């Protein structure tokens, strides 16, 4: 049954992630009222624009053809009794808006990186500033990293949820069960070789996401300095020396495939590794663990809300390769945000996502 009492709003709907988030909310079976769609003041040319003029692919969905993107206004949010505000904005805007939303009694799911990182050294890459550093420090400590598979219990009661990054999600979910079971020999280090479609760079045109650069090409970037590295280190409790993460740009629209190389503490077995994954994700409806030797592919997950994980163990039982795949716009962003909303609202975690 729809829940007429839960009201949502989305600030920042112009990008790929914002469009997918709105689609999921419009189709959500427990929401009877469509989300309030808000534009940032600097996007004056798009304000009061019809949603389907910006995203024609949404036409025909419930309420989509009647919705307009309207100027952001705190009084409006309070009149509409908004319970949860999704922020699909640049990091610096989310850092500014989230504290104000909480002061207005509105919970926040932030799809940017503004609140993901607890350590100043990791957060420094975003060059964030705070009008009230004391308040920001307090809220940073309160913010819950929005990985339902890792922090579902905390998300249920959270006021501020920091939605994870796409690369980080694919790597964290691949490694968490093995680290929890103390199966990895960290003295050998972990190598994470990850590849993402062009939509991971966002909708704004850049030299690297132009057709002439990306088509028929494969390129590494941000070696030793990708901004999702801090998330992986913090969530998996790793030292910088224990992880080498290298992202690559694939000439496809969407999807991430991460290939991760580890060495085990002792000779392992397929049964042991399979059990570690199966046990960890027993109650995780949006993670699909493949049987050994069946490795996931991007085409298996694109336009779905799943993260697929598979592995192969070397013949000597000492080296392990894990492959993790997800859609960077969905499980890597928007559908994970809806997963978090479901938990915060007391719905089934997978409501509207299966």
The residues that are catalytic are 166
- Residue in 236, 118, 121, 259 with CA at minimum distance from that of residue 186: 236
Beta bridge partners of 245: 192
SS (H, E, C) 241-294: HHEEEEEEECCCCCCEEEEEEEEECCCCCHHHHHHHHHHHCCCCCCEEECCCCC
Got the DSSP string for 109-150? EE-SSTTT--SHHHHGGG----SSHHHHHHHHHH-EE--HHH
E strand or H helix that includes residue 220: strand 219-220
For 14, 118, 241, 289, the CA distances from 87, given in Å and listed in that order, are 12, 19, 33, 31
């Amino acid at each position: 049954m729809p829940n007429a009492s839960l009201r949502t709003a989305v600030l920042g709907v112009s990008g790929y992630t914002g469009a997918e988030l709105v689609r999921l909310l419009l189709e959500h079976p427990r929401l009877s009222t469509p989300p309030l769609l808000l534009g940032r003041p600097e996007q004056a040319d798009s304000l009061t624009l019809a949603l389907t003029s910006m995203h024609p692919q949404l036409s025909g969905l419930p309420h989509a053809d009647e919705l307009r993107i309207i100027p952001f206004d705190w009084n409006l949010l309070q009149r509409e009794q908004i319970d949860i505000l999704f922020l699909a904005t640049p990091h610096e805007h989310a850092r500014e808006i989230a504290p104000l939303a909480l002061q207005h009694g509105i919970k926040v799911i932030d799809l940017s990186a503004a609140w993901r990182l607890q350590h100043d050294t990791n957060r420094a890459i975003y060059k964030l500033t705070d009008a009230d550093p004391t308040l920001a420090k307090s809220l940073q400590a309160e913010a819950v990293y929005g990985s339902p598979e890792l922090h579902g219990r905390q998300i249920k009661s959270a006021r501020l949820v920091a939605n994870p990054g796409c690369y980080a999600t694919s790597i964290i979910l691949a490694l968490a069960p093995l680290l929890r079971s103390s199966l990895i020999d960290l003295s050998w280090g972990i190598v994470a070789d990850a590849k993402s479609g062009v939509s991971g760079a966002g909708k704004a045109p850049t030299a690297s996401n132009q057709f002439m650069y990306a088509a028929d090409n494969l390129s590494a970037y941000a070696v030793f300095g990708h901004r999702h590295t801090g998330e992986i280190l913090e969530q998996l409790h790793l030292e910088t020396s224990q992880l080498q993460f290298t992202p690559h740009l694939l000439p496809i629209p969407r999807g991430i495939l991460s290939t991760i190389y580890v060495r085990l503490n002792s000779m392992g077995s397929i049964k042991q590794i399979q059990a570690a994954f199966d046990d960890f994700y027993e109650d995780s409806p949006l993670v699909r663990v493949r049987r050994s030797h069946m490795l996931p592919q991007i085409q298996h997950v694109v336009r779905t809300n799943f993260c697929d994980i598979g592995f192969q163990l070397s013949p000597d039982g000492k080296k392990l390769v894990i492959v993790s795949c997800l859609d960077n716009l969905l499980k890597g962003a928007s559908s994970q945000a809806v997963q978090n909303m479901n938990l915060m609202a007391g719905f089934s975690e997978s409501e509207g996502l299966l």
